[in-house]
Chain A
Amino acid sequence: MALIEIENLCVAYGTPPRQILSNINLSIEEGEFVCLLGQTGCGKSTLLKLVLGAEMPASGRILIDGVEHDQPDRTRGYVPQKYSLFPDKTVLDNITFGPEVAEFNLFTRLSPRYFGRRRQLRLEALSYIRRMGLHEEDAGKYPHQLSGGMQQRVAIAQALITGPRILLMDEAFSALDPGTRKDIQRLIRQLWRDTGITVIFVTHNTQEALDLGSRVLVLAEEMPDRGAEIAMDLLIPQPCHKDQLPKLIDRLEHASGSVREPEEVVMATA
């Protein structure tokens, strides 16, 4: 059974209802790195939020490991483009927030075990900080004292420390400069290989989708006001040779256009 099953998913907003997503059917296996590609406003982030459980579909259902979830929880980590860190907490407190809310409540904080376990969590958070390519001195800084790239590294550590099965990233690197973006792309790719976590990554950048994903899904609207559908589902050859890239980019960019030809739907296999 696939880790994520999406069945006949439709989403509409507003009065009168405007169709955003139409008849999405999709299976995502454990360990895949799926990039959701499409033009701005085509419903990529909406689909991500549906998988996250932050929004509900008009019809259809999403199963995570065979179970429907109606709200976000620890099975799915989340890294948005902005506001991913709590501004009132230091880097260390941001990273340990997840384990602490899970392990301690108002009463367990009074137990003698609390301080020992908290020390352990802080050591674990420090190891994540190093793993993300940050310095230990950054642990005491507040988010506004970090660069955009550093903030996103902390946000990834914050999401991963709770051990989610799925990591959902919404245009997480869009606001970064090209150099920083490349560095973090390498980092997330490495983390994906090391941990085997399933990643769904929303982007509007075709090159980024090809650099990162083991599979690229293109969302596009076939007919105006009909809602976006999956216009292309492409498995990226691993490793992907450089001479294959221009052709793949052409196909993906064509598919993400507002109108597509039915015969362009491709299922490529590695």
Chain B
Amino acid sequence: MSFGFQLVHARPSRIRALFLSWLLFTLGLGLYFYSSQRRHHENPEDRVMPTVSQMVHGMTAATLKPAEDDDAALPDNASLRQRFFASMLWTDTVATSRRFLYSILLLIPAVVLGLHMGLFPYVGVFFLRFVLFFDKIIALSVLPILFIAFGIDELSKIMLIVIGVTPTIILDTFNLTRGVPGEQVVKAFTLGASDFDVAYRVVLRQIAPRVLNSIRLNLKAVMLFLFAGEMIASTNGLAYRIALLRRHMGMDVIIPYVLWVALLLFLVDLAMRVVNRKLHPWFQES
């Protein structure tokens, strides 16, 4: 057996797979802490690479104290729970999550449009060229126009996500719908199904797991546009805070914030995969 063949057909044991999959994390952390210690040894005032204790201190403050620009006043004897729900991290997370949820909800009409474009040729030819063009517009390049047209409130940030992500979802759904075998549609009609039944009880149900996957894979793009909007024009939110702390070189909070965002996105992704598996057992098994 050649070495190349062995490499392609290797089956790492569970222990080896576990070791290898965590190796880069461990190396990265080790390298960071080593560099951080060295920098602090040379300059105790270094703010570029905070130590673990500095980050713990910064995050404790972020999770138990309101932001400096927050007007909410807490009594001195406030409980830990009250402190947490008034904290900078919580209020920022809630603000970003709300915008994120609105953006995801706005993808539902995109799915419906893609479904109808794929199923009904006249709807398809009416919208397809326009959506293809719309898809090529760099969303961030229209940000100034959005701020001028919709102001710097929530609407402009949501519109940024709409322009950035919905064309992709529309086109994905359109292609998935076109991928449903014609025999299935004909069969449904022979069984007495109406147009509505074919669209929502046959085609949508078949493409639903793939559409959910498509949305899941676009979560990062949604967050990217949301962060761009928050960083430029916002008074709260995770990205706003990161941009604000950058001015003060607050790396002791920025780094945990970045990790917190990654963790949130990872959890949303995981939740969507679990929901998809539960809702569509036939898709996971096939």
Contacts and interface: CB of A to CB of B under 8 A. Distances in A.
Say which size band chain B's interface belongs to: 20 to 34
Say which size band chain A's interface belongs to: 20 to 34
A49 B199 CA distance: 21
A247 to B, nearest CB: 36
Interface of A: 49, 52, 54, 71-74, 76-78, 80, 82-84, 86-89, 97-98, 101-102, 142-145, 158-159, 162, 164
B27 interface: no
Contact of B282 (A52, A54, A87, A98): A87
Given A52-B186, A98-B191, A88 B205 contact: yes
Contact of B192 (A74, A89, A142): A74
Given A74-B191, A78-B183, 18 more contacts: A52-B190, A71-B189, A73-B189, A82-B181, A83-B181, A84-B187, A87-B283, A88-B208, A88-B280, A98-B191, A101-B193, A101-B201, A142-B285, A144-B285, A144-B286, A158-B187, A159-B190, A162-B190
Interface of B: 181-184, 186-194, 197, 201-202, 205-206, 208, 280-283, 285-286
A70 to B, nearest CB: 11
B202 A86 contact: yes
B257 to A, nearest CB: 41
B189 to A, nearest CB: 4
A76 B192 CA distance: 10
A73 B188 CA distance: 9
Nearest to B186: A54
A145 B192 contact: no
A83 B184 contact: yes
Contacts of A80: 183, 186-187
A87 B286 contact: yes
Nearest to B180: A83
A144 B192 contact: no
A181 to B, nearest CB: 20
Given A87-B286, A144-B286, A145-B285, A74 B190 contact: yes
B155 to A, nearest CB: 33
